[in-house]
Amino acid sequence: MISNRSKYTTAALFLLPAFVVYTVLLIYPVLQSVYMSFYEWNGIASSNLVFAGLRNYETMFDMPEFWTALKNVLKFVLIGFALQMPLSFFLGYLISLKMKGIRFFKTAFFMPVVLPMTAVGLMWTFILFPNGGLFNTLLTEIGLGGLVRSWLGDTTVVTYTLPMINMWVYAGLNMIIFSAGIVGIPEQLYQAAAIDGATGWRKLRYITIPLLKDTFKIYAVTCLTGSLRVFDIIFVMTSGGPNGASDVPATMLYYQGFKYMNFGLANSIGTFILVAGLTLSILTNRYLSSDK
């Protein structure tokens, strides 16, 4: 065995750099954000924090914009469960089959996940341009001109457009999570069910879905926490607009902090994102495992 003295020297030398960088630049800022959410600060590094008690939180909860942002998160969650989950499940099922050409499809379905969000956001912004954009032109050409919308310019439509683009990106990632679950189900269960006369949809209903409970739980947690953290796609495509209609907590934090210099408020939004995310993942984990 390595002698104890050299063991501890090695441990200290090897561990310290990672420990220091991680603690100073990730853990400390998170704690500092919670702390600063109870203070006012003018953005100048050398000036003092002024104690504000719960005032930043009062401001936050009084802002209609904050509630709009939460509603927008809710739309990400809704589309995440109503459309993205069935789609990802189905894609995961598709790629678990031994179909010809499945490698190509798997690659195609996953491709959006690896692309830079900035490029994806700009690409879709141009495709969704109201006048002469590809999407509206396509709709008109196939005789669906009545569906033409200002996809990013209408304050209601935009709040559904963005989660759909988000789904375009992440369906491929969630497909992998589902396919991993589907492949893990023992073949004999299906064979036994077939002997008992179960047909396609009944197998899906009584074998596949119940046995994928853990996978659905994982999906639920990532969908909820992911929706709370959405930032890039909105920052790039709408900057939270028009008129703040598509803001989410993370973009609100950015604009309140770095544009309007309301740092106290921005930190209370940051603390909200942190606490809400942790609470949701703990609750989802507990709720979805206790009723087994």
Partner 1 sequence: MRLARFRLSGPVLYLISILWALVTLYPLVFTVMSSFKTTDEIYSAPFKLPSLYSFSNYAKALFDAGMLRAIGNSFGISIVSTLSVILLGSLASFVLARLGLKFGNAILLYFLLGIMIPIHTTLIPLMKMVSSVNGHNHYLTLILIYTAFHLPFAIFLISSHMRGISKELDESATLDGCGPIRLFASILFPLTMPAIATAFILTFLYVYNDLVIAVIFISDKSMFTIPLTMLTFVARSLTEYGPIFASIVVSIIPMVIVFLAFQERVVSGLAAGAVKE
Site for partner 1 in 212-271 (CB under 8 A): 218, 221-222, 225-226, 228-229, 231-232, 235-236, 250, 253-254, 257-258, 263, 266-267, 270-271
176 touches partner 1 (CB under 8 A): yes
* Smallest separation, CB 270 to partner 1 (Å): 4
33 near partner 1 (CB under 8 A) = yes
Residues between 47 and 86 with contacts to partner 1, criterion CB under 8 A: none
Q: Is the dihedral of CA 101, 103, 106, 107 positive or negative?
A: negative
Q: How far is the CB of 70 from partner 1 (least distance, A)?
A: 15
Among positions 83, 117, 139, 288, the unique one binding partner 1 when judged by CB under 8 A: 117
Residue 237: C-alpha distances to residues 133, 137, 186 (Å): 14, 20, 44
**Nearest alpha carbon to residue 174 among 93, 248, 236, 101:** 93
For residues 198, 202, 203, 206, the Cα torsion angle rounded to the nearest 10 degrees is: -120
The answer to whether residues 247 and 69 touch, using CB atoms and an 8 Å cutoff, is yes
Instruction: Single out the segment in contact with partner 1 by CB under 8 A; choices: 1-9, 61-69, 76-84, 146-154.
Output: 1-9
Are 282 and 290 a contacting pair, CB within 8 Å?
A: no
CA dist list (Å): 128 to 111, 131, 137, 147, 164: 20, 9, 10, 13, 12
Element of type H or E holding 40: strand 39-40
Q: Cβ of residue 161: shortest distance to partner 1, in angstroms?
A: 14
Min dist CB 197 to partner 1, Å, is 13
Residues 6+ apart with CB under 8 A from 85: 174, 216, 219, 223
Q: Which is nearer to partner 1, 17 or 146 (CB)?
A: 17
Would you count residue 139 as binding partner 1 (CB under 8 A)?
Answer: no
Identify which range of 61-69, 78-86, 125-133, 145-153 contacts partner 1 by CB under 8 A. Answer: 125-133
Are the C-beta atoms of residues 180 and 211 closer than 8 Å to each other? no
Among 119, 144, 147, 283, binds partner 1 (CB under 8 A): 119
Nearer to partner 1, 159 or 284 (CB): 284
Ramachandran region, residue 47 (left: φ > 0; alpha: ψ -120 to 50; beta: rest): beta
Compute φ and ψ for 100, nearest 5 degrees.
Answer: -65, 140
Q: Which of 163, 240, 244, 277 contacts partner 1 by CB under 8 A?
A: 277
25 touching partner 1, by CB under 8 A: yes
> Could you say whether residue 104 binds partner 1 (CB under 8 A)?
yes
Minimum Å distance from CB 291 to partner 1? 21
Cβ neighbour number for residue 120 with a 10 Å cutoff: 20
Please identify which residue in 173, 211, 255, 288 interacts with partner 1, judged by CB under 8 A: 173
Least distance CB 144 / partner 1 (angstroms): 16
CB of 163 vs partner 1, minimal distance in Å: 15
* Residues 188-217 contacting partner 1, CB under 8 A: 190-191, 194, 200-204, 207-208
> Which one of residues 74, 82, 111, 144 is an interface residue with partner 1 (CB under 8 A)?
111
> 143: which 2 tokens?
């005789």
Distance (Å, rounded) from C-alpha 260 to C-alpha 281?
31
